[in-house]
Amino acid sequence: MLNRKIDRVIKTAFTYFPVVIIWAFSLSGDLYAAGDVFPKVPVDGQKEVPVNAQIILQSSVGMIQGPDSCFLNGEYIAPASMAGGMAIFKPGQLQFASTYTMVVRDGAFLSKIDNKPLTGGSYSFTTCSPKAKVFDAIVAKDGSGDYTSIRQAVKEAPTNRTEPWLIFVRNGVYEELVRTSGNLPNICLVGESTEKTELKFSITSYGGHERAYSLFPEAEGQGPVLVANSSDFYLHNITVINAWGYDNQAGPQALALGSYADRFTMFNAGLMSYQDTWQTGSDEHRHYARRSYIEGAVDFIYASGNCVFDSCTIALCRNGSVVVAPSHGAGVKYGYVFRNCDMVSSKPGTARTNNSLGRPWHNKPRTSYINTTLSKDISISAAGWTDHMGGLPVVFAEYNTMDYLGNPVSLASRNTYYWTGTDRNNPTETCIAQAVLSKEEAEALTVRTVLGGSDGWNPENITVELPAPLLYYNENRLYWTVEPQAVCYEVLCDGEFVTFTTETSLAFEGEASEYRVRAVNMYGTLGKISDVPFVNGIQTETTGALNVVFDGESLVARGFCGMARVELYAFDGSKVGQYEMEENEKLELGSVRFFIAKVDANTGTYVFKVVR
């Protein structure tokens, strides 16, 4: 059987030159003949395309939007605008060192002359590699970094940045208040670990209270522990705690976070308080929280903006907790969207009963829960929602809510009637709000749809965890494989931070087995941690029944089902080949003299080094 080669790449440090075979579907006539749609920028096959590039399509006869669609790497994309007979797309921040294929279906555009459908096509381009850099500042309580205070590191960041400013925070408890001013965009605050890096302070937003924000000059007139007044703020691997709410398990209002600007992102972070844990800002602001932990009891996610909570853990502190209290203006299209989240007790094993998914604070709130899983400790009231506060919701709805066993939760009794005023029997205003989403409505609420806006913002790219490098050593030096989307690498020893480097090797002391490496993307997101380093021969860490034999010319793998993936690396870290193979299939490797091979299958991973 023939080996199925997926791709072949030649990479050196922070340089990526894909050799790609591009397939285009059959078209009638010449692909770029008069009247057909073709790319203006980037051109077909262009390399080193900026990751913030727009895509512009044109036609020699001019064009207007038609009934069919366009797709970028298989995902639907609509033009941001049509101007001068051209279609302008804003895909947002693209991935570095990646190949993109734009498919334009026949009829996606019409001739500006006679309104007839124009023939589509397919073309590809490759984005540039990132600029190598380490973190701009390191905060460490023991004085080993550039700062001992997060607040100081943020205050001294350069103003009006257009690229990320990376601040790394070593493990520790930082008892302080942190604020960004509006002229400090693109701050990326990255902790060493979510569990051990804490920003903590006891403060309330309640005037006259013993811990009121007015008593603290460093609060700068704002109540949360952390305030993002600047756009493009990124919080990663840090837990923010308002100690008043968390320690006392009581009100009044005690915010952990206030995000008061556009394009806020939070990944693998934590927010902990009791009442009003996170205030999400104004109608025009967009927020993205992925795989983060948010704890509270009373209206602990509240205010406005289009917000996506992606695979987050929502922890309830008491019986009768109320999760959200939105106040969306009439112009907000999506509001709060929870996708694939878990709802749990803040104390595992302690039941939280008769809880509410939300109540309408003001205006025209919108909240959707999609594929929510309730833990064994959590029960939601039959009505699901609180029917009265100060607003009239447009959508307070769910789709596919499940219990901890995977059984669907009945939505038959969910509330749809809401009212304002002081007397339910004589309300000032009333409304009927949607309580259940259809499958199609739920699937339409994607991150790109909810948060893309006019600029194509795609925060999922910010939170990408780069793959684990392949780590090996020779004598007293570590080596690892290149990750083309990395700006630098973090080196760890016995789980603790050692250094950041833009190189792919480093001299080490002590036992090689204690070292690990992970790649860092341009926003400071820490990638997956490498396996234990290895030297000549077969790596000792293997699992299951996977068995690999190399006879000097060919490789055979046994003990797995389906397909196995084989990756070959040169010793300088460059990837020289990638294949798929079936069990007992012979993979001919010819006369390559020095390489590292990694075989991944459903029964485990096998890594070996060849020197001959």
- Residue range 386-411, pLDDT digits in tens: 999 999 999 999 999 999 999 999 99
501: burial class by Cβ within 10 Å (0-12, 13-18, 19+)? middle
Tokens of 410: 């009945």
Q: Name the β-bridge partners of 137.
A: 167
Q: Give the pLDDT score at 140.
A: 98
Tell me the pLDDT band of 535, cut-offs 50, 70 and 90: low
Q: Give the pLDDT score at 594.
A: 60
pLDDT higher than 90, residue 553: no
Q: Residue holding tokens 């460490």?
A: 140
pLDDT higher than 90, residue 602: no
H/E stretch holding 64 reads: strand 63-65
Q: Which of 355, 352, 434, 353 is nearest to 398 (CA)?
A: 434
Tell me the pLDDT band of 16, cut-offs 50, 70 and 90: very low
pLDDT higher than 60, residue 541: no
506's CB contacts (< 8 A; 6+ apart) are: 477, 478, 491, 499
pLDDT higher than 50, residue 287: yes
Calculate mean pLDDT across residues 27-49. Answer: 71
274 Rama class: left (phi>0) / alpha (psi -120 to 50) / beta = alpha
Q: Give the pLDDT score at 3.
A: 33
Q: Which of 4, 20, 188 is nearest to 97 (CA)?
A: 20
Whether residue 496 contacts residue 489, with contact meaning beta carbons closer than 8 Å, is answered with no
Calculate mean pLDDT across residues 256-269. Answer: 98
Cα gap 16→338, rounded to integer Å: 37
Q: Name the β-bridge partners of 168.
A: 138, 190
When the pLDDT of each residue in the chain is averaged and rounded to a whole number, the result is 90
Q: What is the 3-state secondary structure of 420-460?
A: ECCCCCCCCEEEECEEECCHHHHHHCCHHHHHCCCCCCCHH
Where are the CATH 2.60.40.3780 domain residues in the chain?
14-126
Q: Give the pLDDT score at 554.
A: 83
Calculate mean pLDDT across residues 209-220. Answer: 96
Calculate mean pLDDT across residues 411-439. Answer: 97
β-pair type (322-326, 352-358): parallel
Calculate mean pLDDT across residues 281-292. Answer: 97
Burial 218-254, CB ≥16 within 10 A → b, else e:
ebeebbbbbbbbbbbbbbbbbbbbbbbbbeeeebbbb
11-15, 160-164, 293-297, range with the lowest pLDDT: 11-15
Calculate mean pLDDT across residues 332-346. Answer: 98
Where are the CATH 2.160.20.10 domain residues in the chain?
140-454
Tell me the pLDDT band of 13, cut-offs 50, 70 and 90: very low
Q: Name the β-bridge partners of 452.
A: none
Tell me the pLDDT band of 568, cut-offs 50, 70 and 90: confident
Q: Give the pLDDT score at 444.
A: 96
The maximal CA–CA distance of the chain, rounded, in angstroms, is: 88
DSSP 218: G
Cα torsion at 167, 170, 171, 176 (round to 10°)? Answer: -60
Q: Give the pLDDT score at 591.
A: 64
Q: Who has greater pLDDT, 22 or 609?
A: 609
Fold classification of 538-611 is Immunoglobulin-like (2.60.40)
* Cβ count near 79 (within 10 Å): 18
Q: Give the pLDDT score at 574.
A: 74
Which residue type, as a one-letter code, is found at position 404? Y
Tokens of 552: 């000097």
- Among 429-433, 531-535, 579-583, the range with the most confident prediction by mean pLDDT is 429-433
Q: Who has greater pLDDT, 591 or 557?
A: 557
Calculate mean pLDDT across residues 254-265. Answer: 98
Cα gap 371→404, rounded to integer Å: 12
pTM higher than 0.85? no
Q: Give the pLDDT score at 442.
A: 98
Cα gap 151→179, rounded to integer Å: 7
φ/ψ (deg, to 5) at 517: -140, 145
Calculate mean pLDDT across residues 517-534. Answer: 93
Handedness of CA 363, 369, 375, 381 (dihedral sign): positive
Q: Which of 96, 100, 109, 221 is nearest to 164 (CA)?
A: 96
Distance of CA 264 to the CA centre of its chain: 11
Q: Who has greater pLDDT, 552 or 30?
A: 552
pLDDT higher than 90, residue 590: no
| pLDDT tens, position by position, 432-487 | 999 999 999 999 999 999 999 999 999 999 999 999 998 888 888 999 989 999 99
φ/ψ (deg, to 5) at 460: -60, -30
Tell me the pLDDT band of 1, cut-offs 50, 70 and 90: very low
Sheet of strand 547-550, all strands in order from the earlier edge strand to the far edge = 547-550, 554-558, 586-588
Calculate mean pLDDT across residues 509-534. Answer: 93
Whether residue 287 contacts residue 281, with contact meaning beta carbons closer than 8 Å, is answered with yes
DSSP 262: S
Tokens of 389: 């506060």
pLDDT higher than 50, residue 33: no
Q: Give the pLDDT score at 538.
A: 38
Cα gap 313→268, rounded to integer Å: 10
Calculate mean pLDDT across residues 223-241. Answer: 98
pLDDT higher than 80, residue 543: no
Cα gap 280→306, rounded to integer Å: 9
pLDDT higher than 80, residue 149: yes
Fold classification of 14-126 is Immunoglobulin-like (2.60.40)
H/E stretch holding 245 reads: helix 243-248
Tell me the pLDDT band of 519, cut-offs 50, 70 and 90: very high
Report the percentage of the chain scoring pLDDT > 70: 91
Q: Give the pLDDT score at 15.
A: 32
Cα gap 329→322, rounded to integer Å: 21
Fold classification of 140-454 is Pectate Lyase C-like (2.160.20)
Three-state secondary structure call for residue 498: strand
Handedness of CA 162, 164, 167, 171 (dihedral sign): positive
Report the percentage of the chain scoring pLDDT > 90: 76
Three-state secondary structure call for residue 223: coil
Q: Give the pLDDT score at 29.
A: 34
Q: Give the pLDDT score at 11.
A: 30
Cα gap 327→283, rounded to integer Å: 9
Q: Give the pLDDT score at 281.
A: 93
* Cβ count near 409 (within 10 Å): 16
- What's the half-sphere exposure (Cβ side, CA atoms, 13 Å) at 415? 23
